[in-house]
Structure 1
């Protein structure tokens, strides 16, 4: 059961409508939420709900397939494309696997691109779920574009040129994950997603039908995150935490099991993990280092080296 405190503060939504009306104000409010919580809630995101619903419906149709049909799409690429079955992913340092299965969509690369050696082509289950490629591929592109807008605001908040991040993520190994958490029949040691931090730059998460997402606050309390309709949750990943010398924190979060009356209901969600280009060198930003905040990471690391190291820790590589 959740230990989230009923009186814990809520993360106040920031309206995306402010992005075009008052960009500096939007950047300060968004950046302030990230600096305080590592998370922000962005309302009025403007991504058409009917298109989101179509992509989620395609995911539900795939997860409803028989197990042997789904496993046709399990690829030997470290879980970065296609299907990952139930009972594999395990939070870093955790003993028990998460109660979930998922589908990964990655970036389509042009022929001959230098990253093709480690960013394989997508696989699509349209033979079993007609229209999957079109609907889910559209959602990938929509969240990729929204991620660029969020990064513009983060750059401005950090005192960088607003388009600073554009060339660092344009061919990033970003992943859209369609997640299915099946009903939870009884109490046990496993939960839907064990406490963890995200590996990547930022994560964008559209609202899920079922509750469960919680964020660990500075005082040790778990805050329940239930975004209003038309909102998305965004959080800082470990790569951006490292780049900013922890000025923007990557906060521990989890997905807890439902209350007894909701145990018979599955949970679906669609996080988009935005990544740096594989050869981008994560080197601490100079304006995030001073006498009070010495550089925690004097040795830089490329984004792909960092990713592979972490994938091994969570049993996806």
Structure 2
């Protein structure tokens, strides 16, 4: 149901890889990507440092609360998010968000542009350098996948290149505590991702499920070293619903679960409009930043739990 694609095939037989990717993103919107270009030692360092951060006392992490900045950078405590907008339960996971890195004196930061704040870092040796290196590696991998997707859609392979140069992309460290057995407990509620492409690195602990259109929830298999890749709502909209953004959730794990999600987003001013050759537009054009803002507002809106 969820295919495994081998990135090394791109160099040996790009048309074959493109055909497999095209089928995957049209049918379930999910695939596993083995042999990606992100170095294995960098991935290990990211998970190690993420553990160091989440193992800190709550009061220390709270100094970097995501709720203290309008730019969605920093620590999200359990309960800060509710990804399933149709249900009152909040998510039990905790998170740490990192965005496109800008200096404090960057004009966009000084102008307080949406999503253009500075990253907030814990006092952990090597944390910022490692996370930014991983951010850049994932952005490069996502851009390479977008080139394949452009080819699949009959566009020039560089169609998306200039639209992802200073992206809204976000990197998210995630920690799911073991299940407590509480009623209606959920690690991450059912949702679709907001952006273009998501690259998810996991530690192998089960819990991630996908619900294909017209089907029931299925477990996403773990392939050591492979990324879970999925299409987000923005790219589905961009492709005029040719590509599929599929609901997924994370069940409360038996043991702690760690993962790192990289949400590849376009530049803030990129116009998301039906791509050439995709037929009559199903959605009005919208700036990528405006679309992202509308989705995040719903995610962080207070829930009525009565």
What TM-score does the superposition give when structure 1 sets the normalisation length?
0.89
Give 1:316 deviation, angstroms.
6.4
The correspondence for 1:42, drawn from 20, 29, 33, is 33
Give 1:207 deviation, angstroms.
3.0
- Matched residues in 2 for 1:257 and 1:149: separation? 33
- Matched residues in 2 for 1:166 and 1:288: separation? 19
Q: Verify the 8 A CA contact 2:198 2:230 in the aligned structure 1.
A: yes
- Matched residues in 2 for 1:81 and 1:167: separation? 25
Give 1:138 deviation, angstroms.
1.5
- Matched residues in 2 for 1:14 and 1:209: separation? 18
Structure 1: gaps of 5 or more residues: 1-9
Other structure's SS at 2:21 match: helix
The correspondence for 1:33, drawn from 8, 24, 28, is 24
Give 1:42 deviation, angstroms.
0.9
- Matched residues in 2 for 1:87 and 1:167: separation? 37
Give 1:295 deviation, angstroms.
2.3
Q: 1:316 to 1:108 in 2, by over 3 A?
A: farther
Q: 1:246 to 1:135 in 2, by over 3 A?
A: same
The correspondence for 2:265, drawn from 275, 287, 290, is 275
Q: Verify the 8 A CA contact 1:88 1:316 in the aligned structure 2.
A: no
Q: Where does structure 1 differ by over 6 angstroms across 4 or more consecutive aligned residues?
A: none
Q: Residue 124 of structure 1 corresponds to which residue in structure 2?
A: 121
The alignment covers a number of residue pairs equal to 296
The correspondence for 1:55, drawn from 29, 46, 69, is 46
- Matched residues in 2 for 1:80 and 1:190: separation? 25
Q: Verify the 8 A CA contact 1:207 1:229 in the aligned structure 2.
A: no
- Matched residues in 2 for 1:120 and 1:22: separation? 41
Do structure 1's residue 307 and structure 2's residue 302 form an aligned pair?
no
Correspondence list, 1:147-166, <5 A: 147-166=142-161
Give 1:204 deviation, angstroms.
0.6
Give 1:124 deviation, angstroms.
1.2
Q: 1:69 to 1:114 in 2, by over 3 A?
A: closer
Correspondence list, 1:1-317, <5 A: 10-75=1-66, 76-78=68-70, 80-91=72-83, 92-109=85-102, 112=106, 114=108, 117-118=113-114, 119-125=116-122, 127=123, 129-258=124-253, 263=254, 265-289=255-279, 294-297=280-283, 299-315=284-300
Q: Verify the 8 A CA contact 2:82 2:90 in the aligned structure 1.
A: yes
Q: Verify the 8 A CA contact 1:24 1:156 in the aligned structure 2.
A: no
Other structure's SS at 2:92 match: coil
- Matched residues in 2 for 1:113 and 1:306: separation? 23
- Matched residues in 1 for 2:21 and 2:301: separation? 32
- Matched residues in 1 for 2:69 and 2:235: separation? 25
Give 1:40 deviation, angstroms.
1.4
Give 1:52 deviation, angstroms.
0.6
